Amino acid sequence: MNIIDYIAQNRDITREQLEAVLTTDDKESIEYLRSSARRVADSVYGNKIFMRGLIELSSYCRNDCLYCGLRRSNKEAVRYRLNEQQIYDCCATGYRLGFRTFVMQGGEDGWFNDERMCRIVSNVRKQYPDCAITLSLGERSRESYQALFDAGANRYLLRHETASAEHYSKLHPDEMSWQNRMECLHTLKEIGYQVGCGFMVGSPYQTIDTLYADLQFIRELQPQMVGIGPFVATANTPFASFPNGKVSDTLRLLAIIRLIHPHVLLPATTALGTLHPRGRELGIQFGANVVMPNLSPLDHRKDYAIYDNKICTGEEAAECRACTEHRIKSIGFETVVDRGDYKKD
Ligand code: SAM
Ligand code: SF4
Ligand code: FES
């Protein structure tokens, strides 16, 4: 049997198959991978692409991840945090533009403690009962995750970054722990969040073995969402001179993830759009079904500088939304006004 049919039928992949898919130059095989992934995505979600409005709350971060432009050691980073009113204004604009999921993301900024964050979540929940609230605020305590859930948050994105503890220790300072990251993901699931894990493609020291571990981890955790995007080398970080992740590897991995986990909500990420002018469109063609246009206030956009040359830093929310819709239509897909919940098997 052809490898791709094997992966699709078994919803599994062996290490050797992963290596074969990532190293082949055979255009026909890649096209077959792409069309198979797209067929699977279509069978679950049709040609609908869900839009999430991304609100970047803060560029302050207490952590020092070696790859990220917002790491606390980066003295060149411009720091800002949105005030509560700015966050509510973003949601109001987003709602008017048809978003029914708000993703509040930020560095690990102590200012957004439980009291403040729960107040924000519960106000947004009251104002927009028909919307999903997604948080992506890094590692917090079980009590904190529970309080935010009780305040009305539904989903949480916390990329696991790598399923190998050894690889994790090369991407993070000693004070950060892979075990804690994994525990956070399990806690979030237990509490009842729809959970998203994920990783960067082509991060320094990544190997076929670590990627294989990532795919096995996804099979075990069965997250509702998986966020993957290429690693983008970033100035003023220890990894500034490492090569960027490859767009082609990212596309192949998106397709594999769709095949092994057909119902997953899978974004075509901004990082993919940063490294290729049609990266997000290609991501959708390889099985992604979510896009996350930016709703953050224009005057702070460029300061949420996770990585260099990030796109969508000069456009108003409405422009970004229209641009996204146009891009999606241009490849024959449809954006929908919908919470875009995970569909169970
Ligand atoms: N602070 C939260 C956290 O780390 O989970 C949320 C924000 S963080 C900026 C979101 C994601 O950005 C990280 O999980 C990481 O995978 C990604 N990221 C950080 N630096 C990156 C880089 N140089 N290239 C590509 N993605 C990057
Ligand atoms: Fe902070 Fe997240 Fe960047 Fe790590 S990846 S430095 S936790 S913003
Ligand atoms: Fe943001 Fe095109 S999607 S400007």
Q: What is the CATH number of the domain that holds 27?
A: 3.20.20.70
Instruction: Examine the pLDDT at 121 and tell me if it is beyond 70.
Output: yes
> Which pLDDT score, from 0 to 100, does residue 337 have?
83
Percentage, residues of the chain above pLDDT 90: 98
Helix, strand, coil percentages for the chain (3-state, nearest 5): 45, 15, 40
Q: What mean pLDDT do residues 263-289 have?
A: 98
Percentage, residues of the chain above pLDDT 70: 100
Q: How far is the CA of 138 from the centre of ligand 1 (A)?
A: 10
**Helices and strands in the chain: count of H runs, count of E runs:** 14, 9
Query: Taking CB atoms and a 6 Å cutoff, what residues make up the pocket around ligand 3?
Result: 293, 312, 315, 319-320, 323-324
User: Is residue 143 situated within a structural domain?
Assistant: yes
Q: What mean pLDDT do residues 138-163 have?
A: 98
User: Is residue 10 situated within a structural domain?
Assistant: no
Contact 337, 290 (CB under 8 A): no
> Which pLDDT score, from 0 to 100, does residue 1 have?
63
Helix boundaries (H) for 24-137: 27-45, 84-96, 114-127
**Distance between CA 279 and CA 284 in Å, rounded?**
9
Contact 153, 119 (CB under 8 A): no
Dihedral of CA 87/89/93/99: which sign? Answer: positive
User: Is residue 144 situated within a structural domain?
Assistant: yes
Which ligand 2 atom is at minimum distance from the Cα of 62? 1
Question: Both tokens of residue 335?
Answer: 């954006």
Contact 105, 136 (CB under 8 A): yes
Q: Find the domain containing 319 and state its range.
A: 17-336
User: Is residue 344 situated within a structural domain?
Assistant: no
Contact 231, 244 (CB under 8 A): yes
User: Is residue 12 situated within a structural domain?
Assistant: no
Contact 99, 53 (CB under 8 A): yes
Q: How far is the CA of 30 from the centre of ligand 1 (A)?
A: 28
The HSE-up count of residue 120 (CA atoms within 13 Å, CB side) is 26
Q: How far is the CA of 67 from the centre of ligand 2 (A)?
A: 8
Angle of CA points 328, 128, 296, to nearest 5°: 55
Looking at the CA of 307, which ligand is closest?
Answer: 1
User: Is residue 274 situated within a structural domain?
Assistant: yes
> Which residues have C-beta within 8 Å of that of residue 47, sequence separation ≥ 6?
332, 333, 334
User: Is residue 4 situated within a structural domain?
Assistant: no
B/e letters for 222-237, b = 16+ CB within 10 Å, e = fewer, are ebbbbbbbbbbbbeeb
User: Model confidence over 72-106: pLDDT tens digits?
Assistant: 999 999 999 999 999 999 999 999 999 999 999 99
Sheet holding 290-291, edge to edge: 290-291, 48-51, 334-336
User: Model confidence over 188-205: pLDDT tens digits?
Assistant: 999 999 999 999 999 999
Looking at the CA of 79, which ligand is closest?
Answer: 2
B/e letters for 314-344, b = 16+ CB within 10 Å, e = fewer, are ebebeebbeebbebbeeeebebbeeebeeee
Q: What mean pLDDT do residues 153-162 have?
A: 98
Instruction: Examine the pLDDT at 262 and tell me if it is beyond 70.
Output: yes
User: Model confidence over 202-242: pLDDT tens digits?
Assistant: 999 999 999 999 999 999 999 999 999 999 999 999 999 99
* Mean pLDDT, rounded, of the chain: 97
B/e letters for 53-77, b = 16+ CB within 10 Å, e = fewer, are bbbbbbbbbebbbbbbbbbbebeeb
Q: How far is CA 327 from CA 86, 273, 317, in A?
A: 28, 11, 15
User: Is residue 298 situated within a structural domain?
Assistant: yes
Q: What mean pLDDT do residues 5-25 have?
A: 97
Classify the phi-psi angles of 256: left when phi > 0, otherwise alpha if psi is within -120 to 50, otherwise beta. alpha
Question: Both tokens of residue 36?
Answer: 């198979």
Nearest to 104 by CA among 151, 55, 138: 55
Question: Both tokens of residue 4?
Answer: 């791709």
Query: Rounded to 5 degrees, what are φ and ψ at 328?
Result: -70, -40
**What's the number of domains the chain is made of?**
1
Q: How far is the CA of 98 from the centre of ligand 3 (A)?
A: 16
This prediction's pTM: 0.98
Q: How far is the CA of 108 from the centre of ligand 2 (A)?
A: 7
Q: Using a 6 Å cutoff on CB, does residue 70 contact ligand 2?
A: yes
Looking at the CA of 173, which ligand is closest?
Answer: 2
**Distance between CA 279 and CA 250 in Å, rounded?**
10
